[in-house]
Structure 1
Amino acid sequence: MAKNRKDNRGRVLPPNVSQKSDLRYIWRKMINGTQYVLTDNDLNELKKKIITKESQLQNGIYSDIPKATLNEWFEKWMDIYKSNLKLTTRELYTRYWNNYVRESNIGDMRIDRIKRVHIVELYKELLENKELATATVHTLHVIIYGCFEDLVQDNALQSNPAKKAFSRIGKRPAKKREPLTVKQQENFITFVSESPTYRVYLPMFSFFLGTGVRVSELMGLTWKDIDLFQGSVSINHAMHYTNVNGKMTYHVTTPKSESGNRDIPLLMDLRKQLVHLRDIDNLTGSHGTATIDGYTDFVFHTSKGMPYSIASINQIIARIVKRYNQQETETAGKENRDPELLPVFSPHILRHTFCTRFCENETNVKVIQEIMGHRDISTTMDIYSHVTKEKSTEIMNDLGNKIKIC
């Protein structure tokens, strides 16, 4: 007859329970080919966990989960554990999964057979062969890790195979987001303002370059948010155009973070642009008449009254840059000089450009952080430090032309 195990206090331990050298209690039991493990520093608390676990297993709550594929568990995980996510975050999780996991080697693998090596292999494939940015792979890692971690917390898995998987891959150098130079910014705005075709977009680009708002914040801006008399704009919501249940849909969300709620003073030139835009809307009868989640009267809108999407703004920028570069190339050829071409850029680059100009002319980093709506001041400092470093080189070079030192 097997001798009953006892703990360091002489108490007889329950079946399948032992005490480790660090005095923790551990319960191990093999059920239907799967080993379950529970630990606790307190024996009575462990007994409660054992009763709960055995009840769950008896009712079949967890018995089949380890045998499910990762794709099957992801769907259940999103329904059970991630049902309270923001719509935009749910869309991002689903999009990343569908793009990078669903058709991968681990997508249709049984959960209990997935090892860390499989996850590392996926990350390396995405990083090296698919050439994804390191930040993109890290976002995917957060999703995969969370998907497994809830199984661990529910004691359906002994350990998380995604643990430390991201730290085992190399890092691709992040692509540096370059703001427009002062000259590029001037050339872009001058071309738009003088173009019969594109000057209708001048107020929108002036707003980007005069406030530094995120594109989703500009998309959702209503006239109610703008105080032309006081000269300020209230940023208190954002607009998104995303795939919801297979259909592209507009919806409004709260700002990215609490720091996203902010009031931005309007530059005088921008106030004039906004007054002109409102007068044109009133004159033509063209208004942002769409109603999205209770919001209407959008400041920037299509001829049909609908808000812009990120894709449509990108397309507008691409068309303007293409036409500008064609015209500048022709002009430079006639003038026998090198053309001053514009790069193709995104709305985010316009935000980055504003922040760069701001940093070039303002030393109070806290003010810059508040205007930009940066949650973490380190984001502001990264840009500020880069700008001031370039500025110091410019100042020293200029100084070298003015003083004699040798």
Structure 2
Amino acid sequence: MAKALPRGVREKNGSYEARAVVNGIRINLYGTDLNELMEEFEKAKENARDTLDYRKTRITLNEWFEEWFSEVKQHRVKETSIAPMKNNFKRTFGFYIGSMKLKDIKPLDVQRALNAMEQNQVSHSAMREALGRLRECLDFALGNQLIKVNPCLIVEVPWTFKQSKEEIALTQEEQDNFLSEMEDSWYKEMFYFMCLTGVRVGELGGMKWSDIDFKKKVVHVRRSLSCSYYNGEKRMMLVTPKTVNSIREIPFLGEMEEILKAQKKKQNKLKEELGSRWRSTDDLKDLVFTTGMGSPCVRYVVEKEIKKALKRMSEKEGVLAVQENREPREIRDFHPHSLRHTFATRCFEKKMEPKVVQRLMGHSSISITLNIYTHVLDNIMEEEIKKFGVAKTQTPEEYYNEEIRRARISAMSHC
């Protein structure tokens, strides 16, 4: 009777094959001498066990996060999200406890790191994002037997009450003054477009002429311009919008058609003048709004132009105030997203239905539209409430009897 082969070993065509998986490491060896093969097989299994023991005792949080992220996480997210996610970890847990060995991290260490972030004014949203990603990362370490328990499970982001920062919406007068200030600017049409569509800055930067339908008089929002830094290199690319609802059509409103035709004419003229100096790559060509040299309009460009305009407006107001012997009027500061908020405010002021505004804005939920812009309703709430009336319509006789009853109660209360 043939001698039974050791576990994991089989004979095939006069040679032997030894196979095993130890601590997630696959071992597959071949040989014609069974004794030599078994000796090599046992060494390989021992090395695999030692590898896990080494990793358990030596690997740091930063080392494990990098391995987990490159092997697991980055294959599940958009390419444009990779750099922001890594940067978030690097300036949060990577900075505070990243050098600690994975096996030594306790819940108290994680909590102390969060408390330190709080003291250093790291935003709560950044802290929550980092904690969620750390939980996910350490869950994977747990599944790979590198730790016995996830230290994040009983940890919470420090809670402090902070009054929510109200979004700024320009009044109609402020909007008019700002657009007047941009009248001679290369970016005039761009800011008119933002006020007439409420698009996000990324959507503005990713807008192509192929998205403009002059025949049907609609603007198609189909993509967004993403700008990030990866390994120290600036990267710009066109990506899908924020949510499914972000893909939408916005009809030409106000002077939209006139503005877009003016932009097209102005841009074509400058392209011809600059020739080869016009900055346009194959993947970022045909953009509706660019800098004066053809580069994409990223957030920084929009913010810079707003700040420059506000500075000029403030200086002009200061001079005018001196001439008129009065205090200068406040020129409120605002950022690019404020123009999106302003567009929604104009819509509500024109009594557009919330569902219509939701579709124009590309919000994923009607609650977002209402929660962000409810302050617009404050000015008209009293008049709107009056429209509701009563729960039950009264006949003249019922109304008369009710008034008599109220009069009697009032009289008795004064007796």
* Cα displacement string for residues 354-401 of structure 1 (whole angstroms, at most 9, x for unaligned residues): 1222233345222222111112332112023232134326989xxxxx
* Structure-to-structure mapping, 1:109-148, within 5 angstroms: 109-127=100-118, 129-148=119-138
Q: Distance in 1 between the 2:101 and 2:188 partners?
A: 55
Aligned to 2:377: 388
* Structure-to-structure mapping, 1:267-282, within 5 angstroms: 267-282=253-268
Q: Distance in 2 between the 1:312 and 1:300 partners?
A: 11
1:289, CA displacement in angstroms? 5.6
State whether structure 2 residue 99 is matched by structure 1 residue 99: no
1:55, CA displacement in angstroms? 5.9
Aligned to 2:150: 160
* Structure-to-structure mapping, 1:334-345, within 5 angstroms: 334-345=323-334
Aligned to 2:68: 77
Aligned to 1:14: none
Distance 1:229 1:171, change over 3 A: same
Q: Distance in 2 between the 1:73 and 1:225 partners?
A: 44
* Structure-to-structure mapping, 1:3-402, within 5 angstroms: 59-60=48-49, 62-66=52-56, 67-84=58-75, 85-104=77-96, 106-127=97-118, 129-193=119-183, 196=184, 199-285=185-271, 290-291=280-281, 294-392=283-381
Moved over 4 A (4+): 51-58, 286-289, 393-396
1:189, CA displacement in angstroms? 1.2
Whichever residue aligns with residue 152 of structure 1, its letter is L
Q: Distance in 2 between the 1:257 and 1:332 partners?
A: 46
Q: Distance in 1 between the 2:383 and 2:54 partners?
A: 66
Q: Distance in 1 between the 2:320 and 2:236 partners?
A: 42
Distance 1:168 1:303, change over 3 A: closer
Aligned to 1:16: none
1:122, CA displacement in angstroms? 2.0
Q: Distance in 1 between the 2:139 and 2:24 partners?
A: 21
TM-score (norm 2): 0.75
**Is the Cα contact below 8 Å between 2:221 and 2:247 reproduced in 1?**
yes
Structure of larger gyration radius: 2
Distance 1:304 1:114, change over 3 A: same
Report the count of equivalent residues: 340
Name stretches of at least 5 consecutive residues in structure 1 with no aligned partner. Answer: 1-50, 397-406
Determine what percentage of the aligned residue pairs are the same residue: 28
Distance 1:314 1:78, change over 3 A: same
**Is the Cα contact below 8 Å between 2:168 and 2:334 reproduced in 1?**
no
Q: Distance in 1 between the 2:163 and 2:61 partners?
A: 30
Q: Distance in 1 between the 2:154 and 2:302 partners?
A: 39
Aligned to 2:394: none
Q: In terms of mean alpha carbon deviation, does 334-343 or 68-77 score higher?
A: 334-343
Q: Distance in 2 between the 1:137 and 1:355 partners?
A: 30
Q: Secondary structure at the match of 2:255?
A: helix
Distance 1:87 1:358, change over 3 A: same
Distance 1:311 1:176, change over 3 A: same
Whichever residue aligns with residue 277 of structure 1, its letter is Q
* Cα displacement string for residues 114-150 of structure 1 (whole angstroms, at most 9, x for unaligned residues): 12222222222222x2223322222222222222222
1:338, CA displacement in angstroms? 3.4
1:64, CA displacement in angstroms? 4.0
Q: Distance in 2 between the 1:270 and 1:370 partners?
A: 18
Q: In terms of mean alpha carbon deviation, does 138-147 or 317-326 score higher?
A: 138-147
1:78, CA displacement in angstroms? 1.2
Q: Distance in 2 between the 1:54 and 1:103 partners?
A: 30
Aligned to 2:29: none
1:262, CA displacement in angstroms? 0.7
1:220, CA displacement in angstroms? 1.1
Whichever residue aligns with residue 259 of structure 2, its letter is Q
TM-score (norm 1): 0.76
Distance 1:78 1:231, change over 3 A: same
